[in-house]
């Protein structure tokens, strides 16, 4: 869909298919990156696990969120982006055939990284309650078994935008304890919240810090997609294994990008609050435009889903019609979970189009779908 939109050339094409954003990164991050380009120490394989300034800033970020004191030298590794960190952690944790519990819908990239690492995804359905997503706690209990090695979490999640409640987190952490499983938490969007609730992190729950591994990145909150920098923070007993996988799989991170990432993490104003307010405004205009359609309202993140099957269309056909007749690029969620759950939905990303271009969206949808 992204390639098709690039090739199309129509200036009116709404780019709602890809997780980009037009909101600039922190100025401090750009300046630190530009300065690093000319430095010899930034043009190096070393240090293999990331520069100390970034490991310190990332460990401090996770410590501040969780209330757990993490040692940057023994409990933090820099990864070449968040998803690289997820894959390397999965490779360190599981053996072929081990089960990994994850919600449905889920990012296809996470599902495929579970498979690449030899794991078997066990999908837990999200259900729609009052136009918002909720975790099916009965389905969670049924999915977790003695074969469960990892519960892979994300809140806000992509593509759904679910933000787990305290009760949902409590159920997740209790399930991990019963199965003696790890929780691998993808925290890429944890501060992109459209509610007034504080950030909830599984490592902050009683007794969980020794089984929770956090993967973060500068891509979403800090708007630094092209830097490809993330971090892995977790218990000392597993970090050496993850470090060995990282060395084998990627070798090192982007040297000239790490100083910019460190600068973003310690910036006095990282711009996350202002960016989140703007993304919320864009979410609100799409929800308003589509208020008579089966849209599930996200409580955070960059995207929302519409149930096109409820309108009598498979999401791939709905996407084709939108592209041809409405100049809207959107992504069908086929392959992002089970056919009768994720496979019902079409995804709209609202991070990369300003409000002025989103106005009138409903009429373009009407013309495309004859609604």
What domains are defined for the chain? Answer: 2-25+271-369 (3.90.1150.10), 27-266 (3.40.640.10)
Cα separations in angstroms, 349 against 139, 204, 331: 28, 30, 9
C-alpha 319/C-alpha 264 separation (Å) is 36
What pLDDT was estimated at residue 160? 98
Which residues have a Cβ under 8 Å from the Cβ of 43 and sit 6 or more positions away? 255, 256
Below-50 pLDDT ranges, the chain: none
C-alpha 235/C-alpha 334 separation (Å) is 36
What pLDDT was estimated at residue 215? 98
Instruction: Evaluate whether 216 touches 234 at the Cβ level (below 8 Å).
Output: no
- Could you please report the per-residue DSSP string of 298-361? PSBSSEEEEESGGGT--HHHHHHHHHHHH-EE-EE-TTSS-TTTGGGEEEEE-SSS-HHHHTTH
What pLDDT was estimated at residue 371? 73
Element holding 197 (H helix, E strand): none
What pLDDT was estimated at residue 16? 98
What pLDDT was estimated at residue 283? 98
Please report the sign of the dihedral spanned by the C-alpha atoms of residue 109, residue 112, residue 118, residue 121. Answer: positive
What pLDDT was estimated at residue 149? 98
C-alpha 9/C-alpha 295 separation (Å) is 28
Q: What angle do CA 189, 195, 196 make, to 5 degrees?
A: 110
């Amino acid at each position: 869909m992204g390639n098709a939109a690039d090739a199309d050339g129509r200036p009116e094409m709404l780019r709602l298919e890809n997780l980009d954003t037009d909101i600039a990164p922190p100025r401090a991050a750009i300046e630190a990156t530009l300065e690093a380009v000319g430095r010899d120490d930034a043009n190096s394989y070393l240090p293999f696990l990331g520069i100390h300034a970034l490991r310190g800033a990332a460990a401090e970020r996770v410590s501040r969120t969780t209330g757990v004191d993490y040692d940057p030298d023994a409990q933090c590794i820099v990864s070449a982006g968040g998803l690289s960190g997820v894959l390397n952690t999965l490779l360190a944790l599981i053996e072929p055939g081990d089960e990994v519990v994850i919600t449905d819908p889920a990012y296809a990239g996470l599902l495929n990284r579970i498979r690449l690492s030899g794991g078997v995804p066990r999908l837990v359905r999200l259900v729609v309650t009052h136009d918002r997503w909720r975790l099916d706690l009965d389905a969670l209990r049924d999915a977790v078994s003695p074969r469960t090695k990892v519960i892979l979490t994300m809140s806000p999640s992509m593509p759904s935008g679910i933000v787990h409640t305290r009760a949902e987190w409590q159920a997740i952490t209790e399930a991990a304890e019963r199965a003696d499983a790890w929780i691998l938490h993808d925290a890429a969007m944890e501060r992109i919240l459209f509610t007034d609730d504080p950030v909830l992190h599984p490592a902050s729950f009683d007794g969980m810090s020794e089984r929770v591994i956090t993967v973060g990145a500068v891509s979403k909150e800090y708007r630094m997609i092209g830097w490809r920098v993330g971090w892995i923070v977790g218990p000392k007993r597993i970090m050496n294994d993850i470090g060995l996988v990282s060395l084998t799989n990627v070798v090192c991170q982007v040297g000239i990008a790490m100083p910019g990432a460190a600068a973003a993490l310690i910036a006095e104003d990282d711009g996350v609050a202002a960016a989140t307010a703007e993304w919320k405004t864009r979410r609100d205009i799409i929800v308003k435009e589509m208020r008579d359609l089966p849209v599930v309202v996200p409580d955070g993140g960059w995207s929302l889903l519409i149930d096109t099957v409820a309108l009598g269309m498979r999401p791939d056909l709905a996407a084709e019609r939108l592209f041809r007749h409405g100049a809207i690029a959107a992504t069908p969620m086929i392959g992002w979970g089970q056919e009768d759950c994720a496979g019902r939905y079409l995804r709209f990303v609202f991070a990369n189009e300003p409000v002025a271009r989103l106005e009138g969206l409903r009429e373009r949808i009407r013309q495309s779908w004859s609604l």
